[in-house]
Every structure is written in structure tokens, then in C-alpha cells.
Amino acid sequence: MSYGAILAVLLALTVIGFYLGRGRARALAAGSRTRLHSLPGYYGAHVAIWIALPALILFVFWISFQSAIVEGIVWNGLPDKVTVQGETGQKEALAPERKRLLIDNIANYATGDIVSGEITPLVKQGAARFLRLQALSSWIMAAAMAILAALGLLAAYRSVSPAMRARNRVERAILILLMVASTVAILTTVGIVLSLLFEAMAFFTKISPVDFLFGLEWSPQTAIREDQVGASGAFGAIPVFAGTMLITVIAMIVAVPVGLFAAIYLSEYASRRLRATVKPVLEVLAGIPTVVYGFFAALTVAPMIRDAGAVVGLTVASESALAAGLIMGIMIIPFVSSLSDDIINAVPQSLRDGSYGLGATRSETIRQVVLPAALPGIVGAVLLAVSRAIGETMIVVMAAGLSAKLTVNPFDAVTTVTVQIVTNLTGDPEFDSPKTLSAFALGLVLFLVTLCLNVIALRVVQKYREKYD
Amino acid sequence: MDEIAMENIEAPPAAAIAEPADAPEFRVKMKTRNVNVHYAEKHALRDVSLDIGEREVTALIGPSGCGKSTFLRCLNRMNDTIDICRVTGQLELDGQDIYDAGVDVVQLRASIGMVFQKPNPFPKSIFDNVAYGPRVHGLFSDKSDLEEVVVQSLRKAGLYDEVKDRLGDPGTSLSGGQQQRLCIARAIAVGPEVILMDEPCSSLDPIATARIEELIDELRQNFTIVIVTHSMQQAARVSQKTAFFHLGDLIEQGETPQIFTNPRHEKTQGYITGRFG
Ligand SMILES: Nc1ncnc2c1ncn2[C@@H]1O[C@H](COP(=O)(O)OP(=O)(O)OP(=O)(O)O)[C@@H](O)[C@H]1O
Ligand SMILES: [Mg+2]
């Protein structure tokens, strides 16, 4: 029985339960003099919840443990010695890794995924067993769910009475549902942070944190053979962070004035109709996938800057920090302008009126009253934009290059934290090499920096909001 | 239209004669004829013709939504800042049409100051609040001159003694009544001829209100004042002339004592005796 079918049946049962519960409540209300505590719909919802919730919880637990149990049974069923094909044809004991691989192959073969290596009779046999066990397991699960749902229906249906506070119970069920949802969100975040932390710890056992944080040389290629040259494996992160800083600064130089001025124009000068059309258009910029910005930067802007540089006699790398920074700035413009627009609009109209009433012009009013009043909020918006720029990956991967150079020259190629994370994690499958692990250390530092920026920014914005309530 | 104009022009001299002999001669500071205001489709003011006497307090009264604020905002063209607002008719300051194409609105607002219903000090220091207008208009020669202007304005607004030791504190740190006097000082500092006040006491307690009323009475020596108020007592106490608006029409205008003791129009009678509005 497929999971979809099981859930569809459960849904149908739930709906039926709702109508049953509501019908009984109505019948009770019609028969007796006493008033129902809640509207009949709440009794229906109460019954529906009792049918759906326990069965669903069982479902979730079952499918999260099913594959482990099934694989365990298949594992135990495997012979200890296997005829190794091709070579000697002898029986030999399976090393744990090979056994693991075999299990994976069996599971993959059973579900129709790609199998690595040959499909031996053993795999086929195991897969058949695997499928049988799985089918059995889902039948057991379906039966258990049906029993739970029936029990829930019975209990809830019988509890329907005028005195029962169905409304309050439904309220509590909704509260629990919402709490579970937010707990899931929080736990996932915590899990991600913890895994980041552990991998970073593994990295720091190989490379000292001091070398990592303050070292001036970054070349994560470690020697695979002893005699390999040019692969020293230096993990000083300063050049990488410097690259991120350089590109972020360039992006901010583009995004802050343009975004801010656009926001001022839209909120203070533009007519209502113009604003209603321009604002969404500006926000379309925010909807462009960053990868599109990325190839625009790499294929259009970077060569343009290089050619322009050549004309005036500057040597510009074909992957310059300037190109990446410019495009990233353009990407962030709508972010800055839309936040600033909200903040400028939150400055009370009475302040503007006061200034106009004294005979100040629009731009005088904006410069001397509106902007100072909005300043804390705008600072917050800019900080949020900075944290966005620091974490931006796609544009820099495509346009910023890989060479970790400690430079402030925007025409040079630099690399960034995010680029290094991407390149060090992809390609090289060796998971415990310092090169791969360094990605987690970089990620951890990046996470801490953006976290701090966001917290500061949100606090600043919040403080400002309170002031005009 | 001519008839209304004649009536309005004739009325003031009669009023002037009624005043004691030593009262200054009545002179029209602002003259409005057939002012109509539309907010998009809504006709908010209909054919309002009113004279505002120099160095007098004119009170605008009437039920909520009748167009008092709208009329007040016509007088210094604050309605220009509202997209959908359209003003027609004749509005003059000292015989000059203020809606003429050649008029510098910014300059106009410097000579017709405004105080709002809710005190709205800028988020700056007390000193900078008052210095805002002079700075914008370049009304001072050097630093000490600016200080002089600020101190004088605060004095005239009756606030100086309370804040003289803390001119650097933010304007928002003052009490509501002090903030409103700060706003008055801010308006005075620009050196206006007319001051428009839109319910300046509506967010203040009786004591702060009494102080502002005293202040208005003093300011009458140097300024022409138009005040919108919901309080009959306040209108009776501070104003010389009163105009009663109702649903966008100017129903009745005249000497304040006459309006309150012997209104000609029954709607006025109804409003001031509290039967509606
Ligand atoms: N910005 C605006 N846009 C649209 N309509 C407006 C606007 N301002 C005022 N109005 C309308 O014009 C009419 C007059 O409003 P106005 O503010 O002048 O009344 P008011 O006499 O000052 O009332 P209150 O005593 O409540 O302050 C009202 O019907 C109001 O709805
Ligand atoms: Mg009003």
C-alpha cells in the first residue's frame, strides 16, 4: 500500500469524522433543552483531530524508523561469507565497509536507483527480501493507523455532549500544532549550527585557530603525495576575509546611495500613482535569481571593465573584485531601497508638516528632518544589507575568482569566504582532509559575523520603531 | 458674488467703530473670496469669503469635519503638499494673491507660520528646533545673532525661563505644553506676520492650555493669529472675531461677543449652545 493512498484514506476518514461529530452535536442540540457549549463545527473538528492526529504521529515515527529496521533485518540475513565474483571465486569474509556498500546496493536496486558495481544474485535476492519486508511493514503500519483512527473516532464521538468544551479543546490542539511547527524550525536551525560547530572543531584539531584566524596565507591544497610541490596547505583566513570585505565595500558603495536615493524619491517626491508602479518594478530586481546576476557579472561586466581598464592603461584581472562588487551592489539595491522606504514612511507626517509650515523646501525637510529622524532605521537597513552581501555566494563564485590575495585593489582578482566554502566542499570527496573541513570553519565564522550584524541591525531598527509609536 | 464681497468689506469698519476709541484701526491682513476646496471628488469647502484682521485673533469654530483645518491650510498653502487637494478662489495676503503662479510658496510659509494640533518638535535639541527656521532662511548674520534670535523667540513664547539651562536637550524631552510653546517659538523665530494655529491646546491639560491662551493674547500685539478650536470658551476668551463653519459652508462671521451672545444664524445658535456638533 503506497503512502499516498494511506494518507488519502486517513484524510477521507477525518472528513467523515468531522461530519459525524458535527451531526451528533446538532442532533444533541435539537433533542435537548440545554445549549451546546460550542458551535457544532467545533465538535466536528474535535472528532477530526482525534482521528487524524494520533494516526499521523504514528505515521511519521514509523516511516522515520522503518528503513533502518528493514535494512537491519536484511543485514542480518546476509551470509557472513560471500563468493567474490571475478577473482578467485572463493568465499571470503565481508569487511564491514563492503557489507555496508552491499546493503546500500540492495536498497538502491530495490527502489530502482543507480547501483554501483555489478548486480549479483545476492543483490537481487536481498532486494526481493527488502521489498517484501517493506511491503509487510507498510501493511502493519496501515493497520495500526486504522486502529488508532477508529479508537480516536470512537472516543471523541462518544465524548460529544452539550457540556463538553469542544471549542477550548480545538484551541489547545491548534496551539500545540503551532508550537510543534516552531519547535521544528528552531531544532533544525540548532542542528545545522551544531553540525557546523562539530566539523569546525574537527578542523581546529588539525589547524590551530590562531593560525586560521590570523594567518596571512591561504592555499588549501594539501599534498596528496609526499613529494608534491606547490601544495603546502596554508590555512590563514585573513586574505579570504579581506576579499569578502573588499567586495562587500564595493557593493555597499553602489547599493547604499542608489537604494537610499531611490527610496527618498519614491517616498517623498513620487506621486502616488508613480509609486504604485515603480515600487513593484524595483522589487522585481530582488526576484532575479542570483545566478543570473552571476553570469551577467562574469560574462558582461568583467570583460567590459577589463577592456575599459586596458584603454586607460590599467591591468585589470578578468575576474575582478570590481565586477563582482558592482553586480552584487545592484542586486542589493532593491533590498536597501525597500527597507529604507518603509523606514522613511514611518517618520510621522507631522514632522514634515512642521518643517513645511516653517517654509522649508522639500529637500531641506528631507535632509534636516526626515533623514535624521530615520537615521537609526537606515543604519539598521544597511547592516542587514551588509550581512546579505557577505553571505552572497553565486555572484562571487562566478565572477570573483579563486586566488586568495591580500589586496585592496578593486581591479585584482580576489576570493571570498563563500567561494572558498563552495570550492573546498565540492569536487574533493575526501571528507576528513583539512581542505574540506576548512569549509566548515569558514562557514562558522561567516555565520557568527552575519548573526552579529543581524542582531545589531534588528535591535537598531526596533529601537527606532518604538520611538514613534 | 459682488454682493458678498461688498458685505464683507463693509462689515469691518462698522466693527472698528464699535471698539473703544483707543483700539487700533481695523486693517484686513488676509482676504479670502469664494474659496472652494476639493479633495479629489469631495467638495470640502464651499464659497468661503472671510476677512482676517491684522493684529487680531480670529477663531474658526464648527463641528468636526466641517473644513476648519482645510481652510486654515489654504491660508499658507499647506494643502499644496496633498496631491488630491484642489483650491480655487481668491486668497490674498496684504492685497497680494497668494495662489498666484509667481508666488514663492516657501517664502510665503515663512511669513505665515503654523502651529499644529499635536506638538511636533523635531528630533533635535531645543536650540536647534527654534534655530531651524532661521537657518533654513538664512535669517542671521553670525552665531551670536542666531543665539539672540533663538532666545528672543523662546522669550516671546514664554518658554525661555523654563529651558534656559537646557537648550541642548532634545525638544522631545519637554512636557506636552512646553513642546507646544516650543513649536510656537519655532514659528515665531522665522519672523512671520501671521500665525495659524490648528487646535493648539487639544492635547494639553487645563493649566498648559491657560498658559497658551495667555501667550496668544500677548502675541496679538505683534502677530495676526488664526486659531481653530473646539472649545467655545477658548474662542470666547482669546479671539476678537469668530467664524462658524458647518459642512463646508461659512455660516456666520462677526465680532466674538456678538457671535456668542447674539448669533444671527440658528445653526450657530444651535452649535454654541451645544445642541449639535
Ligand atoms: N487629506 C485629505 N484627503 C481627503 N479628504 C480630506 C483630507 N483632509 C480632510 N478631508 C476631508 O475634508 C473635510 C474637512 O476636513 P477638515 O480636516 O478640514 O475638518 P475639520 O473641520 O478640521 O475637522 P476637525 O475638527 O475634526 O479637525 C472632511 O470631510 C475630511 O474628510
Ligand atoms: Mg481639523
DSSP letters, A105-123, are: HHHHHHHT---SS---HHH
The letter for the amino acid at B124 is K
Residues of B in contact with A361 (CB under 8 A): 106
Which residue puts its alpha carbon closest to atom 30 of ligand 1? B65
Instruction: Render pLDDT for A276-304 as a digit per residue (tens, 0 to 9).
Output: 888 888 888 788 888 898 888 888 888 88
The one-character DSSP state at B99 is: T
The letter for the amino acid at B237 is R
What residues in chain B have their Cβ under 8 A from chain A's Cβ atoms? Answer: 76, 78, 81, 83, 106-110, 113-116, 118, 120-124, 132-133, 136-137, 183, 186-187, 190
pLDDT for B5? 44
In whole angstroms, what is the distance from residue A312 CA to residue A131 CA? 70
Residues of A in contact with B133 (CB under 8 A): 358-360
Q: Which ligand has the shortest distance to the CA of B65?
A: 1
In the reported structure, the alpha carbon of residue A353 is separated from the centroid of ligand 2 by a whole-number distance in angstroms of 14
| Residues above pLDDT 70, as percent of chain B | 90
pLDDT for A433? 78
pLDDT for B10? 43
Residue B82 Cβ contacting ligand 1 at under 6 Å: yes
In the reported structure, the alpha carbon of residue B64 is separated from the centroid of ligand 1 by a whole-number distance in angstroms of 8
Taking CB atoms and an 8 Å limit, are A372 and B123 in contact across chains?
yes
Taking CB atoms and an 8 Å limit, are B106 and A373 in contact across chains?
no
Nearest to A213 by CA among A442, A447, A436: A442
Taking CB atoms and an 8 Å limit, are A359 and B107 in contact across chains?
yes
Length of chain B: 277
In whole angstroms, what is the distance from residue B168 CA to residue B173 CA? 11
In whole angstroms, what is the distance from residue A451 CA to residue A384 CA? 10
Q: Are A325 and A305 spatial neighbours (Cβ–Cβ below 8 Å)?
A: no
Residue of A nearest to B107 (CA): A359
Residue B66 Cβ contacting ligand 1 at under 6 Å: yes
Around B1, how many Cα atoms within 13 Å sit in the side-chain half-sphere?
Answer: 8
Residue whose C-alpha cell reads 496501515 in the numeric block: A142
In the reported structure, the alpha carbon of residue B66 is separated from the centroid of ligand 2 by a whole-number distance in angstroms of 8
pLDDT for B19? 45
Secondary structure (3-state) at B180: helix
Domain ranges of chain A: 3-164, 172-205, 234-468
Which residue puts its alpha carbon closest to atom 31 of ligand 1? B65
Average pLDDT, consecutive stretches of 10 residues, N- to C-terminus, chain A (469 residues): 87 94 88 79 92 92 86 76 55 66 79 73 81 88 93 91 88 92 93 91 87 83 55 78 92 94 91 86 84 88 87 80 90 90 89 92 92 88 90 85 80 86 75 81 91 88 65
pLDDT for B2? 45
Ligand 1 atom closest to the CA of B66, numbered from 1: 21
Helices B176-189 and B206-219 cross at an angle (nearest 10°) of 20
Around A382, how many Cα atoms within 13 Å sit in the side-chain half-sphere?
Answer: 18
Residue of A nearest to B189 (CA): A358
In the reported structure, the alpha carbon of residue A55 is separated from the centroid of ligand 1 by a whole-number distance in angstroms of 60
In whole angstroms, what is the distance from residue A18 CA to residue B64 CA? 52
Q: For residue B45, what are the β-bridge partners?
A: B37
Q: Are B87 and B36 spatial neighbours (Cβ–Cβ below 8 Å)?
A: yes
For strand B96-97 and strand B249-255, is the pairing parallel, antiparallel, or unpaired?
unpaired
A467 or B195, greater pLDDT: B195
Q: Which backbone phi and psi does B65 adopt, to 5 degrees? A: 85, 5
Ligand 1 atom closest to the CA of B71, numbered from 1: 18
pTM of the predicted protein model: 0.73
In whole angstroms, what is the distance from residue A110 CA to residue A130 CA? 7
CATH, domain range B2-272: 3.40.50.300
In whole angstroms, what is the distance from residue A414 CA to residue B56 CA? 73
Secondary structure (3-state) at B47: strand
**A234-468 placed in CATH 1.10.3720.10:** yes
Distance of CA B167 to the CA centre of its chain: 27
Q: Pick from B36, B46, B60, B66 the residue to mutate for probing ligand 1's pocket: most ligand atoms within 8 Å of its CB.
A: B66
Of A271, A350, A364, which is closest to B116 when you measure between CB atoms?
A350
Which of A267, A269, A358 would best serve as a mutation to test chain B binding (most B beta carbons within 10 A)? A358
Taking CB atoms and an 8 Å limit, are B116 and A351 in contact across chains?
no
Cα separations in angstroms, A281 against A284, A285, B52, B94: 5, 7, 49, 48
Cα separations in angstroms, B36 against A359, A386, B44: 24, 51, 8
What residues in chain A have their Cβ under 8 A from chain B's Cβ atoms? Answer: 271-272, 348, 350-361, 364, 368-369, 372-373, 467
Q: For residue B46, what are the β-bridge partners?
A: B249
Q: Which backbone phi and psi does B228 adopt, to 5 degrees? A: -95, 130
Of A357, A368, A373, which is closest to B114 when you measure between CB atoms?
A357
User: Of A301-305, B59-63, B68-72, B91-95, where does mean pLDDT reach its minimum?
Assistant: A301-305
- Inter-chain contacts counted by CB atoms under 8 A, chains A and B: 69
Cα separations in angstroms, B241 against A83, A132, B110: 114, 99, 24
Instruction: Render pLDDT for B200-218 as a digit per residue (tens, 0 to 9).
Output: 988 888 888 898 899 899 8
The letter for the amino acid at A139 is W
Please name the helix (run of DSSP H) or strand (run of DSSP E) that holds residue B57, with its range, or none: strand B57-61
Average pLDDT, chain B: 87
How buried is residue B220: exposed, middle or buried, by Cβ count under 10 Å (0-12/13-18/19+)?
A: middle
Residue B69 Cβ contacting ligand 1 at under 6 Å: yes
Residues of A in contact with B113 (CB under 8 A): 357-358
Residue whose C-alpha cell reads 552584487 in the numeric block: A328
Instruction: Render pLDDT for B8-52 as a digit per residue (tens, 0 to 9).
Output: 444 444 444 444 445 556 789 999 999 999 999 999 999 999 999
Q: For residue A381, what are the β-bridge partners?
A: none
Question: Grid coordinates in use for B234?
Answer: 477658548
Secondary structure (3-state) at B166: coil
Residues of B in contact with A360 (CB under 8 A): 106, 132-133, 136
Residue of A nearest to B80 (CA): A356
Taking CB atoms and an 8 Å limit, are A352 and B83 in contact across chains?
no
Residue of B nearest to A361 (CA): B106
Residues of B in contact with A352 (CB under 8 A): 81
With cut-offs at 50, 70 and 90, classify the pLDDT of residue B163. very high
Taking CB atoms and an 8 Å limit, are B116 and A357 in contact across chains?
yes
Instruction: Render pLDDT for B227-275 as a digit per residue (tens, 0 to 9).
Output: 999 999 999 999 999 999 999 999 999 999 999 999 999 999 989 888 7
Tell me what the mean pLDDT of segment B118-127 comes to. 92
In the reported structure, the alpha carbon of residue A158 is separated from the centroid of ligand 1 by a whole-number distance in angstroms of 60
Secondary structure (3-state) at B69: helix
In the reported structure, the alpha carbon of residue A431 is separated from the centroid of ligand 2 by a whole-number distance in angstroms of 72
Q: Which ligand has the shortest distance to the CA of B71?
A: 1
Shortest distance between the Cα of A362 and any Cα of chain B, in A, equals 10
Secondary structure (3-state) at B29: strand
pLDDT for A251? 94
In whole angstroms, what is the distance from residue B255 CA to residue B268 CA? 13
Q: Which ligand has the shortest distance to the CA of B245?
A: 1
Which residue puts its alpha carbon closest to atom 22 of ligand 1? B69
